[in-house]
Amino acid sequence: MPGEPSYTFRSKFVDPDFRNDPKTKVFCFVCQKDIRTAVPFMGHAVFGCIEVVHPEDRAVADRELAPADNVGLLPVGRDCAKRIGLEWFVRPEKEEAK
Ligand SMILES: [Zn+2]
């Protein structure tokens, strides 16, 4: 049936603000502000960074989403993570080169 695909992963609208212009490569994907300290949280961004996938459902999202919709893990600032809810984010992995 054509129309909206039905996804089974949990996601949440992050109410992004794209008016900021990041000065560095490391910035919060929600408010676009540069993160000048160690990255506090990572969120699995989807649909052009307007929603975040629940950490427990990341594998489901990877399976169900078209690559163009599946942005992947991006840095998130502490304030935005708190506003949206810390349960939607993960700590950055220190050992990514596994
Ligand atoms: Zn932010």
**Angle, CA 59 vertex, CA 16 and CA 93 arms, to 5°:** 70
Distance 2 CA to ligand 1 centre (A): 35
Q: List C-alpha distances in Å: 90 to 1, 6, 18, 48, 70.
A: 35, 25, 22, 19, 17
Given a contact cutoff of 8 angstroms between Cβ atoms, the answer to whether 18 and 28 are in contact is no
- Enter the DSSP assignment of 79: H
Distance 90 CA to ligand 1 centre (A): 15
Q: What is the pTM of this model?
A: 0.88
CA-to-CA distance for 54 and 19, rounded, in angstroms? 25
- Enter the DSSP assignment of 81: H
Mean pLDDT of the chain: 93
Distance 81 CA to ligand 1 centre (A): 7
- What pLDDT, in 10s, does the model give residues 57-90? 999 999 999 999 999 999 999 999 999 999 999 9
Which stretches of the chain are assigned E, i.e. beta strand? 11-13, 41-46, 51-53, 70-76
